[in-house]
Chains A and B, each alone.
Chain A
Amino acid sequence: MSDTSLLVLDGLLVISLVTLAWTALAGSDARRSVILFMAFGLVLAAAWVRLLAPDVALAEAAIGAGLAGALLLAAVREQSRQPLPARIVSKRSHNKPGVNIALQWAVSVLCAVLAGTLAWALAHALNSAPQNALPRAVSANLEASGVSNPVTAVLLNFRAYDTLLELAVLLTAVLGIFALGPARPGYQSAGPVFDGLARWLVPVLILTAGYLLWVGAHAPGGAFQAGATLAAASVVLRLAGRHQIGLPQGPALRVVMAAGVGMFVLVGLGLLVAGRPFLGYPPPWAGGLILMIESAATLAIAATLVLAFLGGQPRPLAVRVARGRIAATPIPTGKPVSPEGIRSTEPHAAEACHRIQETQKRC
Protein backbone atom coordinates (compact mmCIF):
# COMPACT_ATOMS: atom_id res chain seq x y z
CA MET A 1 0.00 0.00 0.00
CA SER A 2 1.22 3.48 -0.70
CA ASP A 3 1.81 6.14 1.92
CA THR A 4 -1.08 8.33 0.79
CA SER A 5 -3.66 5.57 1.15
CA LEU A 6 -2.51 5.07 4.74
CA LEU A 7 -2.98 8.74 5.53
CA VAL A 8 -6.37 8.23 7.22
CA LEU A 9 -4.92 5.52 9.45
CA ASP A 10 -1.95 7.75 10.25
CA GLY A 11 -4.23 10.61 11.20
CA LEU A 12 -6.38 8.40 13.43
CA LEU A 13 -3.36 6.88 15.16
CA VAL A 14 -1.69 10.21 15.77
CA ILE A 15 -4.87 11.83 17.06
CA SER A 16 -5.53 8.94 19.44
CA LEU A 17 -1.93 8.98 20.65
CA VAL A 18 -1.96 12.67 21.46
CA THR A 19 -5.41 12.45 23.06
CA LEU A 20 -4.50 9.43 25.15
CA ALA A 21 -1.25 11.06 26.29
CA TRP A 22 -3.13 14.23 27.19
CA THR A 23 -5.88 12.46 29.13
CA ALA A 24 -3.39 10.18 30.89
CA LEU A 25 -1.46 13.20 32.11
CA ALA A 26 -4.40 15.40 33.06
CA GLY A 27 -6.54 14.70 36.08
CA SER A 28 -5.67 13.40 39.49
CA ASP A 29 -7.09 9.87 39.48
CA ALA A 30 -3.99 7.70 39.43
CA ARG A 31 -5.69 4.47 38.37
CA ARG A 32 -7.42 6.15 35.46
CA SER A 33 -4.13 7.66 34.33
CA VAL A 34 -2.30 4.36 34.48
CA ILE A 35 -4.99 2.60 32.44
CA LEU A 36 -4.90 5.38 29.85
CA PHE A 37 -1.12 5.11 29.80
CA MET A 38 -1.41 1.41 29.02
CA ALA A 39 -3.91 2.16 26.26
CA PHE A 40 -1.44 4.71 24.90
CA GLY A 41 1.24 2.00 24.86
CA LEU A 42 -0.97 -0.34 22.86
CA VAL A 43 -1.88 2.31 20.29
CA LEU A 44 1.82 3.22 20.11
CA ALA A 45 2.60 -0.40 19.35
CA ALA A 46 0.06 -0.26 16.52
CA ALA A 47 1.69 2.92 15.24
CA TRP A 48 5.04 1.19 15.19
CA VAL A 49 3.70 -1.72 13.22
CA ARG A 50 2.44 0.89 10.76
CA LEU A 51 5.95 2.43 10.61
CA LEU A 52 7.42 -1.01 9.84
CA ALA A 53 9.01 -1.44 13.26
CA PRO A 54 7.41 -4.73 14.40
CA ASP A 55 10.28 -5.62 16.75
CA VAL A 56 9.80 -2.40 18.65
CA ALA A 57 6.03 -2.79 18.57
CA LEU A 58 6.28 -6.20 20.25
CA ALA A 59 8.58 -4.80 22.93
CA GLU A 60 6.37 -1.77 23.51
CA ALA A 61 3.24 -3.88 23.85
CA ALA A 62 4.89 -6.38 26.19
CA ILE A 63 7.19 -4.14 28.23
CA GLY A 64 6.22 -0.51 27.71
CA ALA A 65 2.47 -1.02 27.99
CA GLY A 66 2.16 -4.42 29.63
CA LEU A 67 4.76 -4.72 32.36
CA ALA A 68 5.24 -1.01 33.06
CA GLY A 69 1.45 -0.79 33.30
CA ALA A 70 1.30 -3.77 35.64
CA LEU A 71 3.99 -2.19 37.83
CA LEU A 72 2.12 1.10 38.00
CA LEU A 73 -1.23 -0.58 38.65
CA ALA A 74 0.25 -2.65 41.47
CA ALA A 75 1.57 0.59 42.99
CA VAL A 76 -1.84 2.26 42.73
CA ARG A 77 -3.52 -0.72 44.31
CA GLU A 78 -1.06 -0.88 47.16
CA GLN A 79 -1.24 2.82 47.84
CA SER A 80 -5.02 2.76 48.00
CA ARG A 81 -4.88 -0.04 50.60
CA GLN A 82 -2.49 1.51 53.09
CA PRO A 83 -4.03 2.47 56.41
CA LEU A 84 -4.22 6.20 56.44
CA PRO A 85 -2.30 7.92 59.22
CA ALA A 86 -4.10 11.10 60.16
CA ARG A 87 -0.92 13.12 60.29
CA ILE A 88 -0.11 12.58 56.65
CA VAL A 89 -3.56 13.52 55.48
CA SER A 90 -3.70 16.75 57.44
CA LYS A 91 -0.39 17.91 56.03
CA ARG A 92 -1.56 19.20 52.67
CA SER A 93 0.76 21.24 50.55
CA HIS A 94 1.00 24.78 51.81
CA ASN A 95 2.60 26.49 48.86
CA LYS A 96 1.37 29.94 48.07
CA PRO A 97 -1.12 29.68 45.20
CA GLY A 98 0.32 32.74 43.44
CA VAL A 99 3.79 31.24 43.26
CA ASN A 100 2.32 27.97 42.06
CA ILE A 101 0.44 29.56 39.20
CA ALA A 102 3.50 31.53 38.11
CA LEU A 103 5.60 28.39 38.23
CA GLN A 104 3.01 26.46 36.25
CA TRP A 105 2.98 29.09 33.57
CA ALA A 106 6.75 29.27 33.44
CA VAL A 107 7.12 25.50 33.11
CA SER A 108 4.34 25.31 30.53
CA VAL A 109 5.96 28.01 28.42
CA LEU A 110 9.30 26.25 28.77
CA CYS A 111 7.81 22.97 27.59
CA ALA A 112 6.08 24.70 24.68
CA VAL A 113 9.41 26.24 23.68
CA LEU A 114 10.98 22.81 23.96
CA ALA A 115 8.34 21.20 21.74
CA GLY A 116 8.77 24.03 19.23
CA THR A 117 12.55 23.76 19.08
CA LEU A 118 12.47 20.01 18.86
CA ALA A 119 9.92 20.15 16.06
CA TRP A 120 11.84 22.89 14.27
CA ALA A 121 15.12 20.96 14.38
CA LEU A 122 13.36 17.75 13.37
CA ALA A 123 11.74 19.47 10.41
CA HIS A 124 15.18 20.59 9.26
CA ALA A 125 16.57 17.10 9.65
CA LEU A 126 13.65 15.49 7.81
CA ASN A 127 13.80 18.06 5.02
CA SER A 128 17.37 17.19 4.14
CA ALA A 129 18.08 13.98 2.27
CA PRO A 130 17.79 10.89 4.49
CA GLN A 131 21.08 9.57 5.87
CA ASN A 132 21.39 6.11 4.42
CA ALA A 133 25.06 5.32 5.03
CA LEU A 134 24.49 3.44 8.26
CA PRO A 135 21.51 1.29 7.15
CA ARG A 136 23.52 0.42 4.04
CA ALA A 137 26.46 -0.63 6.21
CA VAL A 138 24.09 -2.76 8.29
CA SER A 139 22.72 -4.60 5.28
CA ALA A 140 26.20 -4.96 3.77
CA ASN A 141 27.42 -6.67 6.92
CA LEU A 142 24.22 -8.60 7.67
CA GLU A 143 25.68 -11.72 6.10
CA ALA A 144 28.53 -11.78 8.60
CA SER A 145 26.36 -11.00 11.62
CA GLY A 146 24.98 -14.51 12.01
CA VAL A 147 21.31 -13.47 11.89
CA SER A 148 19.10 -12.19 9.12
CA ASN A 149 16.82 -9.90 11.16
CA PRO A 150 18.66 -6.55 10.90
CA VAL A 151 17.33 -5.32 14.27
CA THR A 152 18.68 -8.41 16.03
CA ALA A 153 21.94 -7.97 14.14
CA VAL A 154 22.27 -4.41 15.47
CA LEU A 155 21.19 -5.35 19.00
CA LEU A 156 23.31 -8.45 19.47
CA ASN A 157 26.20 -8.00 17.12
CA PHE A 158 27.00 -4.50 15.82
CA ARG A 159 25.88 -2.73 18.98
CA ALA A 160 26.00 -5.69 21.34
CA TYR A 161 27.92 -3.57 23.83
CA ASP A 162 24.85 -1.34 24.27
CA THR A 163 22.75 -4.40 25.00
CA LEU A 164 25.31 -5.67 27.51
CA LEU A 165 25.15 -2.39 29.42
CA GLU A 166 21.37 -2.35 29.12
CA LEU A 167 21.19 -5.75 30.81
CA ALA A 168 23.46 -4.28 33.48
CA VAL A 169 20.94 -1.44 33.93
CA LEU A 170 18.14 -3.97 34.43
CA LEU A 171 20.26 -5.87 36.95
CA THR A 172 21.12 -2.65 38.79
CA ALA A 173 17.47 -1.72 39.10
CA VAL A 174 16.59 -5.10 40.62
CA LEU A 175 19.56 -5.03 43.01
CA GLY A 176 18.43 -1.57 44.07
CA ILE A 177 14.87 -2.84 44.59
CA PHE A 178 16.19 -5.79 46.63
CA ALA A 179 18.07 -3.42 48.91
CA LEU A 180 14.84 -1.57 49.71
CA GLY A 181 12.96 -4.41 51.34
CA PRO A 182 10.99 -7.62 50.80
CA ALA A 183 8.46 -8.31 48.06
CA ARG A 184 4.90 -7.17 48.49
CA PRO A 185 2.53 -9.81 49.84
CA GLY A 186 0.90 -12.07 47.31
CA TYR A 187 -2.60 -11.86 45.93
CA GLN A 188 -5.68 -13.87 46.79
CA SER A 189 -7.04 -16.26 44.24
CA ALA A 190 -8.92 -14.21 41.69
CA GLY A 191 -11.74 -16.69 41.29
CA PRO A 192 -12.42 -19.61 38.97
CA VAL A 193 -12.73 -17.66 35.73
CA PHE A 194 -9.35 -15.99 35.97
CA ASP A 195 -7.86 -19.23 37.27
CA GLY A 196 -9.11 -21.02 34.21
CA LEU A 197 -7.70 -18.33 31.99
CA ALA A 198 -4.33 -18.54 33.74
CA ARG A 199 -4.26 -22.30 33.34
CA TRP A 200 -4.79 -21.87 29.63
CA LEU A 201 -2.74 -18.73 29.13
CA VAL A 202 0.48 -19.56 30.97
CA PRO A 203 1.53 -22.50 28.77
CA VAL A 204 0.66 -20.46 25.68
CA LEU A 205 2.80 -17.59 26.96
CA ILE A 206 5.75 -19.86 27.68
CA LEU A 207 5.43 -21.40 24.23
CA THR A 208 5.21 -17.94 22.67
CA ALA A 209 8.33 -16.85 24.56
CA GLY A 210 10.28 -19.80 23.20
CA TYR A 211 9.02 -19.05 19.70
CA LEU A 212 9.93 -15.35 19.93
CA LEU A 213 13.42 -16.21 21.12
CA TRP A 214 13.96 -18.64 18.29
CA VAL A 215 12.37 -16.57 15.55
CA GLY A 216 14.28 -13.40 16.53
CA ALA A 217 17.21 -14.46 14.37
CA HIS A 218 15.31 -13.95 11.12
CA ALA A 219 11.99 -12.28 11.94
CA PRO A 220 10.60 -9.82 14.50
CA GLY A 221 11.29 -11.11 18.01
CA GLY A 222 14.28 -11.70 20.23
CA ALA A 223 15.44 -11.90 23.80
CA PHE A 224 13.63 -8.84 25.13
CA GLN A 225 10.25 -9.71 23.67
CA ALA A 226 10.67 -13.33 24.75
CA GLY A 227 11.81 -12.36 28.24
CA ALA A 228 8.88 -10.00 28.67
CA THR A 229 6.42 -12.68 27.53
CA LEU A 230 7.92 -15.18 29.95
CA ALA A 231 7.70 -12.57 32.70
CA ALA A 232 4.06 -12.01 31.79
CA ALA A 233 3.39 -15.71 32.40
CA SER A 234 4.77 -15.35 35.94
CA VAL A 235 2.81 -12.17 36.54
CA VAL A 236 -0.42 -13.89 35.46
CA LEU A 237 0.31 -16.73 37.92
CA ARG A 238 0.98 -14.20 40.65
CA LEU A 239 -2.25 -12.36 39.94
CA ALA A 240 -4.09 -15.66 40.06
CA GLY A 241 -2.91 -15.98 43.64
CA ARG A 242 -0.26 -18.68 43.18
CA HIS A 243 2.76 -18.70 45.46
CA GLN A 244 4.95 -20.60 43.04
CA ILE A 245 5.36 -18.53 39.94
CA GLY A 246 8.34 -20.22 38.37
CA LEU A 247 11.07 -18.22 40.05
CA PRO A 248 13.97 -20.22 41.45
CA GLN A 249 15.02 -19.74 45.08
CA GLY A 250 18.13 -18.45 46.84
CA PRO A 251 21.45 -18.78 45.02
CA ALA A 252 19.80 -20.21 41.91
CA LEU A 253 17.76 -17.02 41.61
CA ARG A 254 20.94 -14.94 41.74
CA VAL A 255 22.48 -17.11 39.03
CA VAL A 256 19.47 -16.55 36.77
CA MET A 257 19.53 -12.80 37.45
CA ALA A 258 23.20 -12.62 36.54
CA ALA A 259 22.87 -14.96 33.56
CA GLY A 260 22.30 -12.29 30.91
CA VAL A 261 25.23 -10.06 31.73
CA GLY A 262 27.29 -13.10 32.71
CA MET A 263 26.88 -14.92 29.42
CA PHE A 264 27.66 -11.72 27.52
CA VAL A 265 30.86 -11.13 29.51
CA LEU A 266 31.89 -14.78 29.27
CA VAL A 267 31.46 -14.85 25.51
CA GLY A 268 33.17 -11.47 25.15
CA LEU A 269 36.15 -12.37 27.28
CA GLY A 270 36.34 -15.84 25.78
CA LEU A 271 36.63 -14.34 22.32
CA LEU A 272 39.24 -11.91 23.64
CA VAL A 273 41.30 -14.82 24.94
CA ALA A 274 40.89 -16.57 21.60
CA GLY A 275 42.46 -13.57 19.90
CA ARG A 276 39.26 -12.02 18.58
CA PRO A 277 38.02 -8.56 19.55
CA PHE A 278 35.67 -8.33 22.56
CA LEU A 279 32.27 -9.61 21.33
CA GLY A 280 33.74 -10.04 17.84
CA TYR A 281 32.00 -13.30 16.92
CA PRO A 282 33.66 -15.30 14.14
CA PRO A 283 30.99 -15.26 11.36
CA PRO A 284 30.41 -19.04 11.17
CA TRP A 285 29.79 -19.15 14.93
CA ALA A 286 27.94 -15.88 15.22
CA GLY A 287 24.43 -17.35 14.94
CA GLY A 288 25.06 -19.94 17.66
CA LEU A 289 26.78 -17.52 20.02
CA ILE A 290 23.99 -14.98 19.60
CA LEU A 291 21.36 -17.61 20.34
CA MET A 292 23.33 -18.68 23.43
CA ILE A 293 23.55 -15.12 24.70
CA GLU A 294 19.90 -14.49 23.89
CA SER A 295 18.75 -17.61 25.72
CA ALA A 296 20.58 -16.59 28.88
CA ALA A 297 19.36 -13.01 28.45
CA THR A 298 15.74 -14.17 28.04
CA LEU A 299 15.83 -15.96 31.39
CA ALA A 300 17.57 -13.04 33.09
CA ILE A 301 15.19 -10.47 31.60
CA ALA A 302 12.17 -12.55 32.59
CA ALA A 303 13.46 -13.01 36.14
CA THR A 304 14.37 -9.36 36.63
CA LEU A 305 11.07 -8.10 35.22
CA VAL A 306 9.12 -10.44 37.51
CA LEU A 307 11.21 -9.37 40.49
CA ALA A 308 10.57 -5.75 39.61
CA PHE A 309 6.85 -6.53 39.61
CA LEU A 310 7.11 -8.29 42.99
CA GLY A 311 8.83 -5.16 44.30
CA GLY A 312 11.55 -6.92 46.29
CA GLN A 313 13.22 -10.14 47.21
CA PRO A 314 10.63 -12.93 47.27
CA ARG A 315 10.03 -14.44 50.72
CA PRO A 316 11.53 -17.88 51.19
CA LEU A 317 9.08 -20.70 50.60
CA ALA A 318 8.46 -23.42 53.13
CA VAL A 319 7.62 -26.70 51.46
CA ARG A 320 5.07 -28.75 53.31
CA VAL A 321 3.03 -31.75 52.42
CA ALA A 322 -0.64 -30.97 52.37
CA ARG A 323 -3.41 -33.30 51.28
CA GLY A 324 -1.03 -35.67 49.63
CA ARG A 325 0.61 -33.13 47.37
CA ILE A 326 3.44 -30.76 47.88
CA ALA A 327 2.32 -27.21 48.47
CA ALA A 328 4.55 -24.25 48.96
CA THR A 329 3.54 -21.24 51.00
CA PRO A 330 5.62 -18.26 51.99
CA ILE A 331 6.97 -18.25 55.52
CA PRO A 332 5.23 -15.30 57.12
CA THR A 333 7.69 -12.53 57.83
CA GLY A 334 6.63 -9.40 59.61
CA LYS A 335 2.95 -8.64 59.86
CA PRO A 336 0.65 -11.26 58.39
CA VAL A 337 -1.80 -9.96 55.86
CA SER A 338 -5.32 -10.94 56.71
CA PRO A 339 -7.78 -11.56 53.92
CA GLU A 340 -10.02 -8.99 55.56
CA GLY A 341 -7.26 -6.45 55.18
CA ILE A 342 -7.10 -7.14 51.50
CA ARG A 343 -10.81 -7.24 50.95
CA SER A 344 -11.52 -4.05 52.83
CA THR A 345 -13.09 -1.23 50.91
CA GLU A 346 -10.80 0.54 48.58
CA PRO A 347 -10.66 4.30 48.96
CA HIS A 348 -10.90 6.14 45.72
CA ALA A 349 -7.74 5.97 43.67
CA ALA A 350 -7.41 9.73 43.65
CA GLU A 351 -6.87 9.51 47.38
CA ALA A 352 -4.02 7.07 46.79
CA CYS A 353 -2.47 9.68 44.60
CA HIS A 354 -2.59 12.29 47.31
CA ARG A 355 -1.02 9.93 49.72
CA ILE A 356 1.97 9.35 47.49
CA GLN A 357 2.17 13.05 46.99
CA GLU A 358 2.44 13.58 50.72
CA THR A 359 5.11 10.97 51.10
CA GLN A 360 7.00 12.76 48.40
CA LYS A 361 6.58 16.19 49.96
CA ARG A 362 7.42 19.16 47.81
CA CYS A 363 9.73 17.80 45.17
Chain B
Amino acid sequence: MIDVLSALLVLAGVGFYLTGSIGLLRLPDLYSRLHALTKADNLGLGLLVAGLALHSQELLTVLKLLLIWLAVLAASAASAHLIARHARRQETTS
Protein backbone atom coordinates (compact mmCIF):
# COMPACT_ATOMS: atom_id res chain seq x y z
CA MET B 1 0.00 0.00 0.00
CA ILE B 2 2.70 2.45 1.09
CA ASP B 3 4.80 1.33 -1.85
CA VAL B 4 2.02 2.17 -4.28
CA LEU B 5 1.45 5.56 -2.67
CA SER B 6 5.16 6.30 -2.71
CA ALA B 7 5.42 5.34 -6.37
CA LEU B 8 2.42 7.52 -7.23
CA LEU B 9 3.92 10.51 -5.43
CA VAL B 10 7.28 10.05 -7.18
CA LEU B 11 5.55 9.72 -10.52
CA ALA B 12 3.54 12.87 -9.88
CA GLY B 13 6.74 14.68 -8.94
CA VAL B 14 8.40 13.56 -12.14
CA GLY B 15 5.34 14.77 -14.02
CA PHE B 16 5.75 18.23 -12.54
CA TYR B 17 9.42 18.21 -13.48
CA LEU B 18 8.51 17.30 -17.01
CA THR B 19 5.91 20.07 -17.19
CA GLY B 20 8.39 22.56 -15.79
CA SER B 21 11.03 21.59 -18.32
CA ILE B 22 8.58 21.81 -21.22
CA GLY B 23 7.50 25.20 -19.91
CA LEU B 24 11.10 26.34 -19.74
CA LEU B 25 11.58 25.39 -23.37
CA ARG B 26 8.25 26.52 -24.82
CA LEU B 27 7.06 29.61 -22.95
CA PRO B 28 7.65 32.94 -24.70
CA ASP B 29 9.40 35.24 -22.22
CA LEU B 30 11.67 35.14 -19.19
CA TYR B 31 9.03 35.77 -16.56
CA SER B 32 6.68 33.03 -17.62
CA ARG B 33 9.56 30.60 -18.01
CA LEU B 34 10.72 31.45 -14.53
CA HIS B 35 7.20 30.92 -13.28
CA ALA B 36 6.99 27.52 -14.90
CA LEU B 37 10.38 26.48 -13.62
CA THR B 38 10.18 27.46 -9.97
CA LYS B 39 6.61 26.46 -9.31
CA ALA B 40 6.88 23.15 -11.04
CA ASP B 41 10.28 22.32 -9.59
CA ASN B 42 9.29 23.14 -6.06
CA LEU B 43 6.14 21.07 -6.27
CA GLY B 44 7.91 18.37 -8.20
CA LEU B 45 10.71 18.10 -5.68
CA GLY B 46 8.21 18.26 -2.84
CA LEU B 47 6.24 15.32 -4.20
CA LEU B 48 9.46 13.43 -4.91
CA VAL B 49 10.64 14.02 -1.35
CA ALA B 50 7.29 12.97 0.03
CA GLY B 51 7.37 9.78 -2.00
CA LEU B 52 10.90 8.95 -0.91
CA ALA B 53 10.09 9.80 2.70
CA LEU B 54 7.28 7.28 2.71
CA HIS B 55 9.69 4.72 1.40
CA SER B 56 12.43 5.34 3.98
CA GLN B 57 12.74 3.47 7.27
CA GLU B 58 14.45 6.02 9.49
CA LEU B 59 13.19 9.31 10.86
CA LEU B 60 16.62 10.89 10.29
CA THR B 61 16.42 10.21 6.58
CA VAL B 62 12.98 11.81 6.46
CA LEU B 63 14.30 14.88 8.22
CA LYS B 64 17.25 15.09 5.81
CA LEU B 65 14.90 14.87 2.84
CA LEU B 66 12.74 17.59 4.30
CA LEU B 67 15.80 19.78 4.84
CA ILE B 68 16.83 19.29 1.21
CA TRP B 69 13.39 20.37 0.07
CA LEU B 70 13.40 23.46 2.28
CA ALA B 71 16.89 24.46 1.15
CA VAL B 72 15.98 24.11 -2.52
CA LEU B 73 12.74 26.00 -1.89
CA ALA B 74 14.58 28.94 -0.36
CA ALA B 75 17.34 28.96 -2.96
CA SER B 76 15.02 28.75 -5.95
CA ALA B 77 12.70 31.43 -4.57
CA ALA B 78 15.61 33.80 -3.97
CA SER B 79 17.29 33.14 -7.31
CA ALA B 80 14.01 33.49 -9.20
CA HIS B 81 13.52 36.82 -7.48
CA LEU B 82 17.05 37.97 -8.38
CA ILE B 83 16.74 36.93 -12.00
CA ALA B 84 13.37 38.61 -12.39
CA ARG B 85 14.57 41.79 -10.71
CA HIS B 86 17.66 41.93 -12.88
CA ALA B 87 15.57 41.47 -16.01
CA ARG B 88 13.14 44.21 -15.00
CA ARG B 89 15.98 46.63 -14.25
CA GLN B 90 17.44 46.01 -17.66
CA GLU B 91 14.07 46.73 -19.25
CA THR B 92 13.58 49.98 -17.36
CA THR B 93 17.08 51.31 -17.98
CA SER B 94 17.30 50.50 -21.65
Could you list which residues of chain A lie within 8 angstroms of chain B, going by C-beta atoms? 190-191, 193-194, 196-197, 200-201, 204, 343-346
Contact = CB atoms under 8 A, between A and B. Distances in A.
B78 interface: yes
B77 interface: yes
Interface stretch (B22-30, B42-50, B82-90): B82-90
A82 B93 CA distance: 18
A194 B82 contact: yes
B77 A346 contact: no
What's the interface size class on B, roughly?
A: 10 to 19
Contact of A345 (B75, B78, B90): B90
B65 to A, nearest CB: 16
B64 interface: no
B89 to A, nearest CB: 7
Contacts of A343: 89, 93
Interface of B: 71, 74-75, 77-78, 81-82, 85, 89-90, 93-94
Contacts of A345: 90, 93-94
A204 B94 CA distance: 39
A43 to B, nearest CB: 15
Q: Point out which of A191, A197, A201 has the most chain B C-beta atoms below 10 A from its C-beta.
A: A197
Contact of A194 (B71, B81, B93): B81
Contacts of B89: 343
B90 A197 contact: no
B82 A193 contact: yes
Given A197-B75, A200-B74, A201-B74, A346 B82 contact: no
Main secondary structure of the interface of B (DSSP, over half): helix
Given A193-B77, A193-B78, 12 more contacts: A191-B81, A191-B82, A193-B82, A194-B78, A197-B74, A197-B75, A197-B77, A197-B78, A200-B74, A201-B74, A204-B71, A346-B90
Contacts of A344: 93
Contacts of A194: 78, 81-82
Contact of B82 (A190, A196, A201, A204): A190
Q: Sorted from nearest, which 5 A-B pairs have the closest CB atoms?
A: A197-B78, A193-B81, A345-B93, A194-B78, A193-B78
A190 B84 CA distance: 12
Contacts, number: 26
A204 B89 CA distance: 31
Nearest to B80: A193
B73 to A, nearest CB: 11
A190 B77 CA distance: 14
A345 B90 CA distance: 7
A220 to B, nearest CB: 14
A200 B78 CA distance: 12
B54 to A, nearest CB: 19
A124 B71 CA distance: 44
Contacts of A200: 74
B70 to A, nearest CB: 10
A193 B78 CA distance: 6
A251 B89 CA distance: 41
Contacts of B75: 197
A193 B94 CA distance: 24
Nearest to B94: A345
Contacts of B82: 190-191, 193-194
Nearest to A346: B90
B85 A191 contact: yes
Contacts of A346: 90
A302 B32 CA distance: 38
12 contacts: A190-B82, A193-B78, A193-B81, A194-B78, A194-B82, A197-B74, A197-B78, A200-B74, A201-B74, A343-B93, A344-B93, A346-B90
Nearest to B82: A194
Contacts of A190: 82
A270 B82 CA distance: 51
Q: Point out which of A193, A201, A343, A344 has the most chain B C-beta atoms below 10 A from its C-beta.
A: A193
Contacts of A191: 81-82, 85
Contacts of B77: 193, 197
A69 to B, nearest CB: 13
A25 B74 CA distance: 31
Contacts of B71: 204
